Amino acid sequence: MNDAAALRVAIAQLNLLVGDIDGNATRIIDTSAHARDTLQADMVVFPELTLTGYPPEDLLLRPGMQERVAAAVERIRTQVRGITVVFGYPRSKAGALYNSVAMLRDGEFIAQGDKQHLPNYSVFDEKRYFVAGHDRCVGEVKDCRVGVVICEDVWESGPVAEVVAAGAQLVLNINASPFHVDKGNEREAVVGRRARESGVPLIYVNLVGGQDELVFDGESFAVDADGEVVCRFPAYAEGLYTVDFTRRGEDLLPRAQDEPAEPLSTDASIYQALVTGVRDYVTKNGFEGVVIGLSGGIDSALTLAVAVDALGAEVVEAVMLPSRYTAAMSREDAATEAHLLGVEYHEISIDSVYQAFLDALADEFTGYGIDTTEENIQARCRGVILMAISNKKHKMVLTTGNKSEMAVGYATLYGDMAGGFCVLKDVSKTRVYRLVEYRNRIAPVIPRRVIERPPSAELAPDQKDSDSLPPYDILDPILRLYVEQDQGVEDIVAAGFDADTVRRVVRMVDRNEYKRRQAPPGVRITRRAFGRDRRYPITSAYGRDR
C-alpha cells in the first residue's frame, strides 16, 4: 500500500429537496461520477436519508414511497461504477421501516446498517416512522475497513464502539443535523470524544440547506484519532470536499490539504441561517420573488436585507403602507433602505382603506370607545394589500415580526402576521439589533436613525413598544428562561427579575398560543423555537392562578 494514497474520501455536502427521490438519486449518481473522475476519490459519502431528503415526515407513510425508493436504489446500484458510494435512505425490511445506510461498489452491496438511536425530542420525531435497528455497517474499501454510523448514533458511545470492534479503522458519521446557536461546537466536542474513545479517526458529513423551519448548516469535518479537527469545510455552502488518509501500520491518518475553514461567529452563523432558510423556502416552493411591508422600523429593515442577500434585489419588492400615524422619518427611512438595497419600492397609503372600514363599522361600533380594534384594522388593511400583491405577482409575502413580539402576542392576526414565511420568527428583538450591526459592517444598508429610534408599531399617536411591553433588555431574558428553558415564575424571579413583571410576561405568553399556532413558519435558530419545537396546548387551565 502506497503511504501517499492509502484512501481518498469525498464528502458530498449537498442541498437536497425533500420528496424528490428521482432528483436526489440523480444527484448521487452525478456527484459520484465527479468524485471518481475529477477528484480521484476512492469513496464518496452523502448525508443521512439522502434519497428522501430530511425530514421526510409523513411522506414516509405514503403507499408508493418504498416502491420509489427501491427503484432509486436500483438506479444507483446499476449506474455507479469505479467508486464506493455511501448514502442514507429509508429501508423496508420484514415489514418495518429503518433509517438506513448503504455502502455500494460496482453494483454490489458491500455493507448496510441501520440507525440505532432514534431521536424523539425537540424537532425530531423519528420514532413515529422508524424502528431502531441493530445491523452494523462495516465494509472494506481499498484494503481499509470503514464503518458507518448515522447521525444520533455518534452522540452515544455504543454504535461507534461496535463498528470499531468489528474492525473499522475509520468511522463515517452521516447526518442531517439542523442548526441552532453553538451547534457546531457541540458536534465537534462529541465527535472528538468518540474518536478518542475508539482510537480511530471520524468523518462527520452533514446536510446543507433549508427545509421549512429547519436550516442545515453543513460544516462537515474530520477529526484524527486524538479528536483534533483536521479538516473543516465551509458552512452554508454546497460542496464536494476530499480527505486523504495515509497508513501507519493498521492506523489511518487523516491529512488536511488546506487549513480548516474558520467557524463563523455567532452573528454571522445566525445571519447565514436566515439567508439560507429564506432562499430555500422561497425557491423550493416555486415563488418568483418576495414582497415585504417596509415600515421604516428595524425589523422590516433586517428582513429586507436578508431577502436581498438570499434572493437578489431584482426579485424583492418593498412596499411602504403609511397611515395617518406614520411618522415622516419612517417614510424617509423606508425609502432610503429600499434605495440602498436596490429593490423595487412603492408607497401605498392605507388611509382611505382604513376609513372605509371605519365607515362600514360605524353603526356596529356605536357606543364603544376607540381601542386596539382600530389599531388592528390598520394592520389588517396592510395585510390585505400585501397579500393582493402576492397573489397578482406570484411573490411570497415575508412577514417581519420577531420572536419577542410573537412570544407575548404583540402582533395582529391576519394583519402583520399575514404572509408565507416569517424570517425573524425565532430571533429576539435584542438579537435583531446585533444582526443589524453585523449586516451593516458588511455594507451599511440600514440607516443609523432606524437603529437608534425607539421601536413603535405606529398604529396610534406617539405610540412606542414600551407603552405595552417591558423594555426589551428585560423582556428578552425573561422570555429566554420561560420559553426556551421552561423555567417557572419562581425560578425566574429568583434569577433577579421583578415578580410582577415576570407574571405579566408569562400571562402574555400563555394566552397568545392561539396566535402563534396561526403564524407562518420561520427559520429556527435557537434550541426552542415556536412551532414544531415548543408545543403547548391552546386551551389549558395550567397557570391561570398566576
Q: Is the pLDDT of residue 454 over 90?
A: no
Task: Supply 171's cell numbers.
Answer: 468511522
Average pLDDT over every residue of 344-363: 96
CB 150 within 8 A of CB 115: yes
Q: Could you tell me the end-to-end alpha-carbon distance of the chain, in angstroms, rounded to an integer?
A: 72
Provide the 10 A C-beta neighbour count for residue 486: 10
Residue 467, pLDDT score: 79
**This model's pTM is above 0.85:** yes
Residue 1, pLDDT score: 36
CB 441 within 8 A of CB 420: no
> For residues 405 and 408, what is the distance between their CA atoms, to the nearest angstrom?
6
Nearest CA to 335 out of 395, 383, 294, 303 is that of 294
- Strand ranges (DSSP E) for 233-276? 239-248, 251-255
> For residues 489 and 505, what is the distance between their CA atoms, to the nearest angstrom?
10
Residue 542, pLDDT score: 82
- Is there a catalytic annotation at residue 151? yes
Residue 4, pLDDT score: 57
- The residue type of 1 is M
CA torsion sign, 444 to 445 to 451 to 453? Answer: positive
Residue 166, pLDDT score: 95
DSSP assigned state of 534: B
CB 251 within 8 A of CB 225: yes
125 CB contacts (<8 Å, ≥6 apart)? none
> For residues 472 and 449, what is the distance between their CA atoms, to the nearest angstrom?
18
pLDDT band at 543 (very low <50, low <70, confident <90, very high): confident
pLDDT band at 545 (very low <50, low <70, confident <90, very high): low
103 CB contacts (<8 Å, ≥6 apart)? 84, 85, 86, 109, 110, 111, 112, 137, 139, 141, 146, 148
Average pLDDT over every residue of 107-135: 93
Q: Is the pLDDT of residue 463 over 80?
A: no
> For residues 350 and 324, what is the distance between their CA atoms, to the nearest angstrom?
9
Residue 91, pLDDT score: 95
* pLDDT one-digit tens code per residue, 392-433: 999 999 999 999 999 999 999 999 999 999 999 999 999 999
- H or E element in which residue 388 lies: helix 372-393
Whether omega before 159 lies within 30 degrees of 0, making that bond cis, reads no
Which of 137, 144, 151, 381 is catalytic? The answer is 151
Q: Is the pLDDT of residue 260 over 90?
A: no
Provide the 10 A C-beta neighbour count for residue 15: 21
Q: In what order do the strands lie in the sheet with 43-45?
A: 108-114, 96-105, 84-93, 43-45, 7-13, 239-248, 251-255
pLDDT > 70: percent of the chain: 98
- Is there a catalytic annotation at residue 48? yes
Q: Which domains are seen in the chain, by residue range? A: 3-258 (3.60.110.10), 268-463 (3.40.50.620)
* pLDDT one-digit tens code per residue, 15-67: 999 999 999 999 999 999 999 999 999 999 999 999 999 999 999 999 899 99
